[in-house]
């Protein structure tokens, strides 16, 4: 399980926030992210933030590509 998911306060802070706000929160924590489409990927944590209308609605994990 990802360390980020182990910290409910961080997850709670990301869900409901705008894409820009999520990127700023992650950057402030020293966590790199990659924005594309309706997602914001956090490769170091294998997490995917899912956005709808520029608002984070879910956080999911993903496996590393082989």
- In degrees and rounded to multiples of 5, residue 35 shows phi and psi of -90, 135
C-alpha to C-alpha distance for 37 and 13, rounded to whole angstroms: 21
Q: What count of Cα atoms within 13 Å lies in the side-chain half-sphere of residue 43?
A: 6
Per the CB < 8 A criterion, the answer to whether 63 and 46 are in contact is yes
Closest CA relative to residue 44, chosen from 24, 19, 61, 22: 61
Tens digits of residue pLDDT in 53-64 = 999 999 888 877
Model confidence pLDDT, tens digit, residues 3-57: 555 456 666 789 999 999 999 988 888 889 998 888 999 888 888 999 999 999 9
């Amino acid at each position: 399980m990802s360390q980020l998911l182990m910290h409910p306060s961080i997850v709670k802070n990301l869900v409901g926030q705008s894409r820009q706000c999520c990127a700023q929160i992650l950057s402030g924590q020293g966590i790199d992210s990659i924005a594309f489409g309706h997602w914001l990927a956090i490769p170091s944590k294998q997490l995917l933030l899912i956005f709808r209308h520029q608002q984070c609605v879910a956080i999911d994990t993903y496996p590393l590509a082989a």
